[in-house]
Amino acid sequence: MVEEKDLKQWKDAGHVARRTLEGIKGEIVAGKQWSEVIESAERFIRRHGGQAAFPVTISVNEMAAHYTSNTEEVPPEGMEGDMVFQKGDLVKLDVGVHIKGALGDNALTIEVGNGGEHTDQIKAAKEARDAAIEKMHPGTPWHVVGEAAQQPSIDAGFEPIRNLSGHKMERWSLHSGVSIPMYSCGPNNPSYKGEVEAGGVYAVEPFNTTGKSGTVENVPPQGSSNILRVTGSVKIRKALKKGKLKPLGATMARYIEERYSTLPFAERWAYPLLSKPFPEESEDSLRRKWKALVKKLTNIRFLEVYEALRDVDGGFVGQFEHTAYITEGGPEVLTVE
């Protein structure tokens, strides 16, 4: 639970997260590279007093979530052409900010060129977010929140995505163990037991789709999102002592942990750290060393990697997200300008 004395940092993080979305969305135009927008958003966060709580992600059309650019500029599997916005693309921009571990997480969906092809879907996703938040009073069962989130999409002829959830957040933890249904899961669903709690901070993010099944799947291969995270469950000193890590691997693990704690980070943020111990190494050699390092740190469960997500039917996906703090009187949206 967030105490009143800490709330200012959460509000500040939410404020920077919202300003970033609003300040960057105008850069999503036909002909611009995805990576340019991602990097511009991350610079915006730093200029306005925050740090990225996770890499800024761009998800286009059937891509639902969890894709950020990497140093090799490799597109997600199955995508043809360059990672450049095209007129008519349905684009999700997801931005998270932290201030000393206090978090703000928000997202929006826009259509490149504003041609009106996706207006109803965008409107339904936004209304789904707002309808869910309206129900988030202390003591409300989670399935009631899910019912509210589902209805605007169903009414507009879209399917809610059922295997993506909102999530409770705590300091330094984006997903702190409570998932929020964004569809009508029913009162007896074992994944969504419990109720809204006063003092909780929740990321509310319904997704909808033009696909029929309302389901997303991982994009291969493993790690396709280019996002990683320190699990927090492996101590570097113990791993070194037991021979699970060599001294250089332990040093790199410390570099990563000191910079990102247990919040998600981008491959493109961490990969340049290798140039410190290997200043004369060729690019090919550095790539091999980086891949070997990630494989080792993943195998010992020091790191976990994320996959990008896409609609299983190839349907276009819409999403909106706010961070809400629950007071005794009801929800207070923190991701406001």
The CATH number assigned to the domain holding 93 equals: 3.90.230.10
Residues 232 and 206 grouped into a single domain: no
Residues 296 and 323 grouped into a single domain: no
Residues 130-175 have pLDDT tens digits of: 999 999 999 999 999 999 999 999 999 999 999 999 999 999 999 9
Residues 95 and 175 grouped into a single domain: yes
Residues 207 and 239 grouped into a single domain: no
Residues 282 and 325 grouped into a single domain: no
pLDDT at 6 > cutoff 90: no
Residue 170 lies in a domain: yes
Residues 58-88 have pLDDT tens digits of: 999 999 999 999 998 888 888 878 899 999 9
Based on the structure, what is the number of domains in the chain? 2
- Give bridge partners of residue 266 from the DSSP assignment: 227
Residue 219 lies in a domain: no
Instruction: State the pLDDT confidence band at 276, using cuts at 50, 70 and 90.
Output: confident
Residues 39 and 176 grouped into a single domain: yes
Confidence (pLDDT) at 64: 98
Residue 116 lies in a domain: yes
Q: Could you tell me what percent of the chain has a pLDDT over 90?
A: 92
Sign of dihedral through CA atoms 337, 150, 135, 95? negative
Residues 43 and 189 grouped into a single domain: yes
Averaged pLDDT, 190-195:
95
Which of the residues are catalytic?
A: 94, 105, 167, 175, 205, 321
Residues 167 and 234 grouped into a single domain: no
Residues 125 and 251 grouped into a single domain: no
159 secondary structure, DSSP code: E
Query: Which tokens go with 107?
Result: 């997202």
Residue 120 lies in a domain: yes
Residues 246 and 325 grouped into a single domain: no
Which domain covers residue 244, as residue numbers? 227-305
**Secondary structure (DSSP) of 249-291:** HHHHHHHHHHHHTTS-EEHHHHGGGGGTT-TT--HHHHHHHHH
Residues 199 and 105 grouped into a single domain: yes
- Which of 141, 106, 42 minimizes the C-alpha distance to 337? 106
